[in-house]
Amino acid sequence: MLAKSFKHVGAHLLAILACLTMVMPFYLIVTNSFKTKADASSMSAALPASVHLENFLTVISAGKLGTSFFNSMLYASGSTIIGTLFAAMAAFVLSRNRTRFNRFLYFFIILGIALPANYFTLTKVMQITTLINTRTGMILLYAAGQIPFGVFLMYGFLDTVPRELDEAAIMDGCGPLQLFFQIIVPMLTPVLVTAAVLSFLGAWSNFIMPLYYLNNTANWPMTLSVYNFFGQYQANWNLVSADILLTVLPVILVYFLAQRYILTGITAGAIKG
Amino acid sequence: MKHGNRYPFYFVLGALILYLVFAIIPGITGIFYSFTDWSGYTDKINFVGLDNFKTIFSASENYLLFIKNTFIFTIITIILKTALGLALALILTEGVKRFAYFYRMMIYLPVVLPALAVALIFRSILNPATGFLNSTLRAIGLGVLAQKWLVNPHIALYSVIGVDTWQGVGYIMVILIAGLTSIPREYYEAAEVDGASFWPKLFWITLPMMMPAMIIVTVLNLLYALKVFDIVYALTNGGPGYVTDVIYTAVFQAFSQGQWGLGTAFSSLLFVFMSVVGYFVIRLMDRGQTRD
């Protein structure tokens, strides 16, 4: 009995240690973002001697974070809406109508989960479509990027949505669009939320696409501007911390609001696969 | 009514067109450009045969080192993330009951952060003189373990691997937890009746039953690691020298320097390699699905 409770305490201690290891870096940027430049220079875990909220104002104006925040929000939400919708529609038809060709298409699309990007020929595509250096270009790039995984996630889930629903809807005179939007989409809600949240987080965090395809600072998202800000203000860890904090706060917020959909949703897809 | 009318093909078109235009067409045309001297500076393109590949595989260039670094990064992150992920998953399923979900939520947190932000934070934490890691080591009397984490060429790559593992282990843990909870309890009960303790149960029940989940996490880690860019670029940008350069940091280098033919050839090698890997993974999954 003693050995058992000893094991129990040990497990909790290990779990707490793991949590602290994961949260510590985040704590460091929070506490240092309120310090003076001198106090933040060593990025210590100490609480700020005095609270300097003006760090955030400095960062927002010097780093032009207003535009970047708007851009990130636009890219992440725009691509999430387009990508999730297209992926859901494709998954629906591919899953319901399993001809040999559709089965091939499904595998062809989810092969995209593995495929690496070729940024050189992609540049060419972006130039030909005149999407390079544009906000629309970013939205479409991110939307395209999430299609394979989105289709994969929803294709599996659609098996759990009974086909009898389709039959009944068709009998009632629904067309394909009505059937999809009024009957199927509500049934897909949990997996749609999972796909949408993952897509939003992924697009918000993406750094490589804007690095390659946006040279106009007015279109930069948060990731690119925080990197640029870091380049200029490396010595001011209080400001860099504040900038990082503003960059990660939205994803942390979305994560805590939607953690159930992520922590259970990704596993549903993975284990089923 | 025929299925085609009920499930019209135009539903697939949006996804298919985006996928073709932004992933497949660049991937395939990239293979053709690999045999040219395509440059970022002129529009003239000449066929040069295998020259780009000869450069990549030549011993006097650094590309083999970048491939080697990528493989080291890949293999070690797969081992570390799987081992630590499994240990954490076991702690959170077998070890603790209360707060298990809370712990899981906290350990997963770094996964959602932008890798770029993580890299910047760790540039401070790993600072040799003032960084949090070395300060903590010195404070608890382990000063001998303090290192020049990102500066010492012998350990820089492993520091990058450590940071990446820190960020990604939660994802692997969550998938392995799902795998663990799907193992029927009766197996363990039967083993306990026979007097099996922790280690025999781990080796004879848990690990064999976890094979599907293990394969999935290995594949996910592999796909991520071969394409890794953000964390390396922002932590070390390939330095010191070239010791932490991986395929995609070298690709970005080629892009910035206008060596587009060479860069395309390098990207295409990975494209072909990963198409093959992807094909086998899908075959594996397909068999799994038909079996149900």
The verdict on ipTM greater than 0.85 is: yes
Is the domain of B135 the same as that of B279?
Answer: no
- How far does the CA of residue A67 sit from the closest CA of chain B (Å)? 19
Is the domain of B49 the same as that of B121?
Answer: no
A143 touches chain B (CB under 8 A): yes
What are the DSSP calls for A55-119, one per residue? HHHHHHHHTTHHHHHHHHHHHHHHHHHHHHHHHHHHHHHHHHS--HHHHHHHHHHHGGGTPPP-H
Q: What is the pLDDT of residue B144?
A: 79
Q: Do B209 and B180 form a contact (C-beta atoms < 8 A)?
A: no
pLDDT single digits (tens) B151-203: 889 999 999 999 999 999 999 999 999 888 888 888 888 888 888 888 888 88
Mean pLDDT of chain A: 89
pLDDT single digits (tens) B72-105: 999 999 999 999 999 999 999 888 888 888 999 9
The residue among A23, A89, A104, A118 with the most chain B CBs within 10 A of its CB, best to mutate, is A118
pLDDT band (50, 70, 90) for residue B292: very low
- How far does the CA of residue B58 sit from the closest CA of chain A (Å)? 22
Q: Do B211 and B139 form a contact (C-beta atoms < 8 A)?
A: no
Query: Would residue B20 count as lying in a domain?
Result: no
Is the domain of B86 the same as that of B162?
Answer: yes
pLDDT single digits (tens) A89-100: 999 999 999 899
Is the domain of B148 the same as that of B190?
Answer: yes
CATH superfamily of A65-233+247-272: MetI-like (1.10.3720.10)
A232 touches chain B (CB under 8 A): no
pLDDT band (50, 70, 90) for residue B27: very high
Query: Would residue B58 count as lying in a domain?
Result: yes
Query: Would residue B10 count as lying in a domain?
Result: no
Closest residue in chain B to residue A90, using alpha carbons only:
B12
Query: Would residue B135 count as lying in a domain?
Result: yes
- Closest partner residue to B9 (CB to CB) among A8, A93, A125 is A93
- Closest partner residue to B274 (CB to CB) among A116, A141, A179 is A116
- pLDDT of A53 over the 80 cut: yes
Query: Would residue B9 count as lying in a domain?
Result: no
- Closest partner residue to A18 (CB to CB) among B107, B178, B275 is B107
d(CA A114, CA B220): 9
Is the domain of B231 the same as that of B256?
Answer: no
Mean pLDDT on B119-129: 90
Is the domain of B183 the same as that of B225?
Answer: yes
What percentage of chain A has pLDDT greater than the value 90?
A: 62
Residue A217 DSSP class:
G
Is the domain of B192 the same as that of B274?
Answer: no
Count: domains in chain B: 2
Across the A/B interface, how many CB contacts are shorter than 8 Å?
287
Is the domain of B58 the same as that of B195?
Answer: no
- pLDDT of A268 over the 60 cut: no
- Residue B254, CA distances (Å) to A83, B60, B248 in order: 30, 17, 10
d(CA A117, CA B29): 12
Asked if the Cβ–Cβ distance from A12 to B95 is below 8 Å, we say yes
Residues of B in contact with A11 (CB under 8 A): 91, 94-96
pLDDT single digits (tens) B206-215: 889 888 889 8
d(CA A226, CA B16): 34
Asked if the Cβ–Cβ distance from B22 to A122 is below 8 Å, we say yes
The residue among A42, A120, A178 with the most chain B CBs within 10 A of its CB, best to mutate, is A120
Q: Which domain holds residue B233?
A: 64-244
A140 touches chain B (CB under 8 A): yes
Is the domain of B125 the same as that of B251?
Answer: no
pLDDT single digits (tens) A67-115: 999 999 999 999 999 999 999 999 999 999 989 999 999 999 999 999 9
pLDDT band (50, 70, 90) for residue A2: low
pLDDT band (50, 70, 90) for residue A3: low
Is the domain of B97 the same as that of B219?
Answer: yes
Query: Would residue B23 count as lying in a domain?
Result: no
Closest residue in chain A to residue B124, using alpha carbons only:
A43
Asked if the Cβ–Cβ distance from B92 to A15 is below 8 Å, we say yes
pLDDT single digits (tens) A154-178: 998 898 888 888 888 888 888 889 8
pLDDT band (50, 70, 90) for residue B41: confident
Asked if the Cβ–Cβ distance from B125 to A43 is below 8 Å, we say yes
d(CA B25, CA A165): 38
- pLDDT of A49 over the 90 cut: no
Exposure string (b/e) for B45-54, b if CB count within 10 Å is 16 or more? eeebeebbbe
- More confidently predicted of A153 and A265: A153
The residue among B109, B133, B219, B223 with the most chain A CBs within 10 A of its CB, best to mutate, is B109
Please enumerate, as own/partner, the contacts of B206-215 that have beta carbons within 8 Å and a separation of 24 or more: B206/B90, B206/B180, B209/B179, B209/B183, B210/B86, B210/B176, B210/B179, B210/B180, B210/B183, B212/A271, B212/B179, B212/B288, B213/A270, B213/A271, B213/B175, B213/B176, B213/B178, B213/B179, B213/B180, B214/B82, B214/B176, B214/B179, B215/B284
Is the domain of B69 the same as that of B209?
Answer: yes
Asked if the Cβ–Cβ distance from B114 to A251 is below 8 Å, we say yes
- Residue B27, CA distances (Å) to A55, A118, B253 in order: 44, 6, 19
Asked if the Cβ–Cβ distance from A270 to B213 is below 8 Å, we say yes
Report the DSSP beta bridge partners of residue B168: none
pLDDT single digits (tens) B213-249: 898 899 889 999 999 999 999 999 888 989 999 999 9
Report the CATH number at residue B187.
1.10.3720.10
Global confidence as pTM: 0.90
Is the domain of B35 the same as that of B132?
Answer: no
- Closest partner residue to B22 (CB to CB) among A19, A44, A141 is A141
Q: Do B266 and B254 form a contact (C-beta atoms < 8 A)?
A: yes
pLDDT band (50, 70, 90) for residue B265: very high
Nearest to B34 by CA among B251, B185, B208: B251
- pLDDT of A269 over the 60 cut: no
